[in-house]
Amino acid sequence: MIVAIATLPLEMKRLPIAAIVLLLVSCDHGLEPPPSVEPGFGGTVNFEKGTWPPADSIVNLWVFASQVYPLDSAKIFAGLFSNPPTVYLYPALDKNLPLFVDSVSYKFNLPPGRYEYVGVLQRIANDLNVRSLKVVGMFGTNDSPPFPIPVIVSAFNFVPKVDIKVNFHKPPPAPF
C-alpha cells in the first residue's frame, strides 16, 4: 500500500493518506471487559424461624427490585416485560431463593437506577391474579408500619447490607 501511495501523483497522494489517518484516528478499541465491580446490591435475607408455609404454597420465591411504588401484580408483570424493565427478580424468573433455610445471602446485579421498593416476593399459586403474589419481606424502615427504603445503584457501584427480614406469618403491609 505504501508503494502504491508513493507512486501516485502528488495531488492524488493526499486522499488515501488522509483516509488512512482518519481511519486510524477514528478507531478506538471497541468493547472492553467491564470494571470488576458490577452494579447491584446485596445482603442477607433472614427468614423468621417456624414461619415457613407448606411447600405447595410456594410456587416461587424471589428478591425483587422495583423502580415503582406502590406495586400491584399487573404492574409487576408489566414491569418485568417492559422495555426497559422496571421490575427485576433475583435469582431469575424461573429460579427460586433457597427454601426452608434460616437465612440466605444474595448478590443482585442489575442496571443502575433508583429502586423504590425492594423486598421478597412469594408466588403462592400457579394461577396469576392479585392473590397469587404476596410481598413477604421488605427492605424498609423500623417504623410501624414500615416504609420501603429506596436503594440507589449507580454505575460501577455495588450497594451492600440490603438485609431483608421475612416473617411469613407477618408480612409487611401489601400496597395492593
Give yes or no for residue 56 binding another protein (CB under 8 A): no
Name the grid cell of 35.
470494571
Q: Give the up-direction half-sphere exposure of residue 30: CA atoms within 13 A in the CB hemisphere.
A: 0
Give yes or no for residue 124 binding another protein (CB under 8 A): no
Spatial neighbors of 90 by CB under 8 A, at least 6 apart, are 62, 63, 64, 65, 97, 106, 108
Applying CB under 8 A, what is the total number of residues that bind another protein? 32
Mark the segment that binds another protein (CB under 8 A) among 43-51, 76-84, 98-106, 154-162.
Answer: 76-84
Please, what is the minimum distance in Å from the beta carbon of residue 92 to another protein? 7
In the list 18, 21, 34, 154, the residue contacting another protein (rule: CB under 8 A) is: 34
Please, what is the minimum distance in Å from the beta carbon of residue 13 to another protein? 10
Q: How many CB atoms lie within 10 A of CB 76?
A: 22
Give the residues lining the site for another protein (CB under 8 A). Answer: 1, 3-4, 7-8, 12, 16, 19, 23-24, 26-34, 36, 77, 80-81, 83-85, 92-94, 126-128
